[in-house]
Structure formats: structure tokens, C-alpha cells
A and B are shown apart, each in its own frame.
Chain A
């Protein structure tokens, strides 16, 4: 493992990759600050750039840098404008914006930067420890276990969907699964649902779909529904924090790094859930006097989500790098990019391509350091970029989206598919349907079908479900993930009914 870490460091510290990680973090921070464009769109837009670089390590380092840069940058607009750039930083505005309103904007940004740095770095240390462990277990997995793992991933989507969104999330997942059946599957050399169209023979392009479901709708939403920005939180003056504040946030950072990381590892949960959960947990365990401070500018209330969302970003790389299964929409897009680069993520990645595996992990340490250096002294200047008018920005986004879909395949049909699905994506977004489940369903669908049919062929039927204990355990977890929230909701309803009767 030490050897791997050294290879990774060597790769990550090459001049090219250093520039790539700095560039990725800068772009991520910048676009992440702009309200409305989430990390998925930013990564989708950057994929063609990454693919043209040709080197898989550099490409993944760039995209990972963009990812945590976006989460970092999102907190700046949360704090200064009360307009979170990304969903994962919504919780940061609860206490960050009140701090800024009371003239402590600089202090808030410093706490955010330090918490993010600590969350990301501690997360990366946990990744170094846990990813090889999981990888070595995963080497024993057969297709049956992979099938069961993907079922767990899909069930988790429903379990972690927001209130009132469960059915919608399930519908979107099924739609994704259906779309995955178009084209020739890996196991059947017969085209399905292609309607005789040659360009559909290899199925829908993943990058095209990601652009259509995220970049296009989000760009159009910026035009159609310009968000009302909050008042400017005030001038950024003093960036310093006091010793007492540092002592207050230190234990919060410690707890939330670990909790955020493990939430990120879970399939279906990501930075957003980690940040809300982190905020809630810290408020509940705080002493009574401090609890009242939450929501009015508590330093703990800002440090908790900022640490948790960055740790969760890092955690979400665990299933991607060790199992080749995306746990979130963002890692689904990263998986698509890796496949386009001819890299198969999974337990073999660490053995076959240690330079990619370790370079990505090592670049996270560098990236977090870059972001800390970048964000602390430069924040007042970067924040000025928020003033760039949208009428310049949106055409650029649309241009990169369309160009990106074309460059990957050099096939104009992709553009028609992009626009067609883009319109569907906009309609679904208007109707408030969550789009990440669709993408996860789409990417897991093909893999799930392949693993299921392989297991069927190996065992001459579905015997593998009870003959392989690991598969059975995983499938039972999946059932629990679906059933428990339903039971909980029922019990809550019964309690409420009883309360009404009384």
C-alpha cells in the first residue's frame, strides 16, 4: 500500500497534474459560487475537456477537483448572499448568512474554509484507510453480489429521498432503468428498442444524458426563474477567528468529518444529506444555551455542515473507486467519464492501475490545500466575480454543453438526443421531479441486468439468491431500506391520529 501511495504522490505531484488540480479547483470554486448550477452540471460540462486530455489520472483529478471546488465555492454564496450555489451548502447559510449580516462575513468565510479543509482532509485520510480494505473484500464478490449491491443502491435512493419525494424518486429511477435497456446490452448482441436507428445501437450516450438532465435544465432555469438574491451580507473585513471560537469548532469538525464521510460512503446519500444531518446532530448535542444560538450566527452551526459536506464528497469516492458503483448522481457522472476513458472502476482498479487509484486520492490532499490557500486570502476578490451578469454566462454554459455532447462522439445525432432529452429534463424539473435518481437508474440499470443474467447463467436459475449468503444479506438490507421508512411513516401517522383523538 505504501508503494501505491508513493506512486500516487509521484503522479499527483507532476507539474501537469498540479496545474490540473489547481485549475479544477479554481473552475469548481468559481462555477460553484454561481447560484443555480450544481456540481453535476459543472462536472458534466467539464467531461469533454477531461476526455480530450486523454490521461485517465489527470482527467479524474480534474473532475474531482471541480467537484470539491464546487462544494467549497457554494458556501461562499451561501454565506454572502444567502443564495447557495449548490444544494450541499444550503445548511451553511443557516448560520453563515446571519453571521455575515452582523458584520462578521470575513470570520464566517474563514470558518467555512477551515471546516471544509479539515473535512476534506480527514475524509481523504479515512479514504486511504477504508478504500483498500473494501477493495480487498470486493475482490471476492461474484456477479450475484454485485447485482445485490446495485439493488441496495437503488433502494437507498427511495430511502434518502426528501419528504413527499419518495414516489417521484422511484418513478425517476424506473425511468432510468427503462432508458438503460435501449441498444445492444453487453450480454446480448441483438439491438433492443433502437427502432432501426443505427445511432441508437450502442444505447444512449451517458454524457449526453447527463448534460440533458442537468446542465441544460439548470441553465434554462437560470433564465426562466432568476432567483432573488438576498441582500449583500456586507463587506468582508476581518478574516480572523478568536481562540475561543477555534476551541468551540474543533470538536464539531472532528465529529462531522467522520460522520460526513460515512454518510458519503452510503449509496444514495451525499453531501446534501450529510450537511443537514450534521447540522441537526450538532444542534441536538449542543448545551441548551448554545442551542438558541443556532440559526442566528452560531460558529458551530456553520462549521458542522461545512465539514460534513466536504467529508461526504470524499466518502462518495469509496464505492466508486472500490466497487465501481456510483453512490450519488455526481459519482455516477464521474463513473461515466471513467468508462469513456477506457478505465473500469472496481476492485481491480487498485491492483491494475494503482497510479490512477492513488493519484486521485493523493490529489485530494493537494486540492484541499489549494482550496484553503485560494479561499482564505483571495475570498474578497473572488466574491466580486459573483457580480458577472448572467446574460454573458448562460450562453457560455449552453455552448459548452452542446459542444461537449458533440466532441465525445463526433456524431450530430447526439445533439438531437441532447436537445430532445433536455426538453424532457426541463419539463421534469418544472414538475419538481428529482433528476439524479434517473441518472443513477440509467447507469446502474445496464450493470444490474448484466450481473443478474450472468448469475442466472452460472447457477441455472435464481438459486444464487439463497445459495450465496452474502447476496442474501445484501438483498435483505435492500428490503429493509424500502420497508423501514414506510413503517416509520405509518407509525408516525398512527401517533398523530391518536393525538387527534385525544
Chain B
């Protein structure tokens, strides 16, 4: 079974538990942390940048954190920033680095010398499910119909995505096909350098389906350009209530691309606890709800040990799949 355990209810329970742990002296709406320095491993304007600045905005405007500063340190697909945080661990107790699913993938491929275990896991904050989409005028409406087309000629039914082979979009497509009983190695995955070019290829008929993030898929579906034939959430989502999950179509798989925060190695426990406390309290604020809604993010809160368990499970599933596909 290629399931990436999410356990939503468990997460909510954790969130509540973490809230309970918060020192009673800090009443709701009071400052928890003086300041946080956000380290962003990519350039301005990217997904990591948006996450760090959005979280920082909600935290400061709600008064949970006194002030926030941001530093973009791109290079090596976040390898430079991770190396910096490890080498200068002692002077970075006030720093939180944002990262996401690729840290797991790239640690596996050994692109960077480090691994998420070398950092202090603080908290996963948001996530985005994945989706398979086809052009709006396509005859295909469901995964079953798509698989029927696929079975006739797997190589002639290319699936595209905006990530490198072995990257997230490819792994999602492979995971879905594997769970449906096909061989992930038969998937003709075509890589594009950005979501926009992959979308152009879908509409020009070069690829038959596109593997992409759910929030992007919902935007495109609302524009009337694509149909969502399956999403990797465990239950249907509010943003696209008519989009069927893979699970209800008999494909037993789920996947979430998370984004979360990491601290320097050796971060003192009391520091970790206050950061986790601030992030947990953030979900209750109106300021966060505004930032979240504006960006179309899904709250997926994973703190401390739950974060570790979640990442290890994801590492296991992705690792198995990448070994099968020959990337490891």
C-alpha cells in the first residue's frame, strides 16, 4: 500500500495538545516570542518565500511574535541554506528555516550532504494535495476512463508535470499508477521546467494528463480549462467538492506536499517549545485565516515528534518508489 499517512484527526488532537502545553502565563493574543528570523532557501517570489512571509505576517500582526525578519539564501536547491544553518548552529537559535517535500526527496538522492534529521524539526504548517488533470474538452472524466486509455498504449499516453523526473510531480503520477495496479516504470513522464509550460503542453495535446498541485488545479478548473480526474487527499476537499479522491475511485493512495519550519541543530528544548507554541496558536487567529485563504493553503499542522513520524513515513514511501523507478 502506497499510503502517506496523514491522520488528520490525530493532527488536530496534537494541535490541541500543543496548545494545552503552552505556558499559562501567555494568554491568547499575547506575545509568545520576541522575534523570529526566517531563513528562506530560495529566491524572492517562490513558494518557500511566500510561506515564510505569510506565516511571519500572521504571527506579527496577531501579536504572537514581536517582530520578524527574512533572509533569502538561494543555492543548491536549499543545500546552501541547510549547510549554513548547520555550520552556524550556535548563532542561529533565533532562526527558522522554511522547507517542504523536496528536502525529503533531495536528501534521498544525496544531492545535499545533509538530511532533515541533521536539523531540529519544529513544525509542519501547511500543505497542498496533488491532482491529476486532463483538458476540459477531453473524453476522459474519471481515473477509470483514463486508465482505460492508458492501458491501450502506456507509452503513447504521456503524463507531464512541472518537476524533474524523480521530482514530486513524477512521484505522484508514479504512485497513483502503481496503486492502480500498473507498473510505475511504464509511466511516460514528461518533465517541464514550470507549471505554466506543462499546462501549455497539456492544452496543445502533447501530454494526455498533467500531475500538479491541487491549489493550481483548482484555479485552472475554475478558469474552465481542465477537469480534475482525481486528487490525492483522503477525503474530498472544500475548495473542489466535486473532485473525486483517488481512494474513492479504488486507487488506494494519498499524498500531501507539506511546508514547514526547521531550526538549527542543538536548538534548546525551551526554544523549540516556544516556537511550536507560537505556530500552534497562529491557527486560531483571524490574521492567519486571512493569509491562508488569500493563498489557498490547507492547514496541515504537524508538531515535533509527529512531524518526525510524518517525514519518516514520507521518506519510506518516496524512497521505495524512487528505488523502483531507478533513481536511487
Sample (23) of A-B pairs whose CB atoms are under 8 Å apart: A52-B44, A139-B204, A143-B201, A143-B206, A186-B191, A186-B192, A189-B164, A189-B165, A189-B167, A198-B76, A202-B74, A202-B75, A202-B77, A348-B196, A409-B43, A411-B73, A411-B75, A447-B193, A454-B191, A454-B192, A458-B190, A458-B206, A460-B155
Cα A408 to Cα B73 in complex, Å, equals 10
Contact (Cβ within 8 A) A410 B73? yes
Judge if B181 is at the interface, Cβ distance under 8 Å. Answer: no
| A186-B164, A189-B166, A348-B199 known; A342 vs B191 contact (CB < 8 Å) | no
Judge if B109 is at the interface, Cβ distance under 8 Å. Answer: yes
Name A369-418 residues within 8 Å CB distance of B: 408-411, 413
Q: Which residues of B contact A51 (CB under 8 A)?
A: 44-45
| A189-B164, A191-B111 known; A198 vs B83 contact (CB < 8 Å) | yes
Cα A184 to Cα B201 in complex, Å, equals 22
Q: Mark A98-131, 1 if CB is under 8 A from B, else 0.
A: 0000000000000000000000000000000000
**Partner of B72 from A344, A410, A460 at Cβ < 8 Å:** A410
Cα A475 to Cα B91 in complex, Å, equals 57
Contact (Cβ within 8 A) A344 B194? yes
| A342-B45, A409-B75 known; A142 vs B193 contact (CB < 8 Å) | no
Cα A409 to Cα B76 in complex, Å, equals 12
Closest to B197 in A: A344
Judge if A466 is at the interface, Cβ distance under 8 Å. Answer: no
Judge if A141 is at the interface, Cβ distance under 8 Å. Answer: yes
How distant is B144 from chain A, measured CB to nearest CB, in Å? 25
How distant is B67 from chain A, measured CB to nearest CB, in Å? 20
Judge if B326 is at the interface, Cβ distance under 8 Å. Answer: no
Closest to B327 in A: A189
Which one of B72, B75, B111 has the greatest number of beta carbons of chain A within 10 Å?
B75
Judge if B158 is at the interface, Cβ distance under 8 Å. Answer: yes
Name B146-202 residues within 8 Å CB distance of A: 155, 158, 164-167, 188, 190-194, 196-197, 199-201
Q: Which residues of B contact A413 (CB under 8 A)?
A: 75
Closest to B164 in A: A189
How distant is A37 from chain B, measured CB to nearest CB, in Å? 27
Judge if A235 is at the interface, Cβ distance under 8 Å. Answer: no
Closest to A199 in B: B75
Cα A342 to Cα B44 in complex, Å, equals 9
| A140-B204, A142-B204, A410-B74 known; A198 vs B79 contact (CB < 8 Å) | yes
Judge if B222 is at the interface, Cβ distance under 8 Å. Answer: no
Q: Mark A300-339, 1 if CB is under 8 A from B, else 0.
A: 0000000000000000000000000000000000000000
Contact (Cβ within 8 A) B197 A142? no
Chain B positions within 8 Å of A, measured between CB atoms, are 43-46, 71-77, 79-80, 83, 109, 111-112, 155, 158, 164-167, 188, 190-194, 196-197, 199-201, 203-206, 225, 327
How many A residues have CB within 8 A of the partner chain? Answer: 38
How distant is A337 from chain B, measured CB to nearest CB, in Å? 12
Cα A187 to Cα B167 in complex, Å, equals 10
How distant is B115 from chain A, measured CB to nearest CB, in Å? 15
Question: In the complex, how many residue pairs between chain A and chain B have their CB atoms under 8 Å apart?
Answer: 102
Contact (Cβ within 8 A) B193 A450? yes
Q: Which residues of B contact A352 (CB under 8 A)?
A: 196, 199
Judge if A188 is at the interface, Cβ distance under 8 Å. Answer: yes
Cα A458 to Cα B192 in complex, Å, equals 13
Q: Which residues of A contact B155 (CB under 8 A)?
A: 460
Closest to A187 in B: B191
How distant is B126 from chain A, measured CB to nearest CB, in Å? 19
Q: Which residues of B contact A191 (CB under 8 A)?
A: 111
**Partner of A187 from B45, B71, B111, B164 at Cβ < 8 Å:** B164
Q: Which residues of B contact A54 (CB under 8 A)?
A: 44-45
**Partner of A142 from B43, B72, B201 at Cβ < 8 Å:** B201
Q: Mark A172-183, 1 if CB is under 8 A from B, else 0.
A: 000000000000
Closest to B79 in A: A198
Besides A202-B75, A347-B200, A457-B190, 14 new A-B residue pairs in contact (Cβ under 8 A), listed by A number: A54-B44, A142-B204, A143-B201, A184-B164, A186-B164, A189-B166, A202-B76, A341-B45, A348-B200, A352-B196, A409-B72, A409-B74, A411-B80, A458-B206
Cα A140 to Cα B200 in complex, Å, equals 9
Closest to B105 in A: A189
| A340-B43, A413-B75 known; A198 vs B194 contact (CB < 8 Å) | no
Cα A408 to Cα B327 in complex, Å, equals 32
Judge if A201 is at the interface, Cβ distance under 8 Å. Answer: yes
Judge if A346 is at the interface, Cβ distance under 8 Å. Answer: yes
Contact (Cβ within 8 A) B76 A201? yes
Contact (Cβ within 8 A) A141 B204? yes
Q: Which residues of B contact A140 (CB under 8 A)?
A: 204
Q: Which residues of B contact A410 (CB under 8 A)?
A: 71-74
Closest to B106 in A: A189
Q: Which residues of A contact B204 (CB under 8 A)?
A: 139-142
Which one of B43, B73, B199 has the greatest number of beta carbons of chain A within 10 Å?
B43
Q: Which residues of B contact A199 (CB under 8 A)?
A: 75-76, 80
Q: Which residues of B contact A447 (CB under 8 A)?
A: 193
**Partner of B75 from A52, A198, A351 at Cβ < 8 Å:** A198
Contact (Cβ within 8 A) A139 B200? yes
Closest to A410 in B: B72
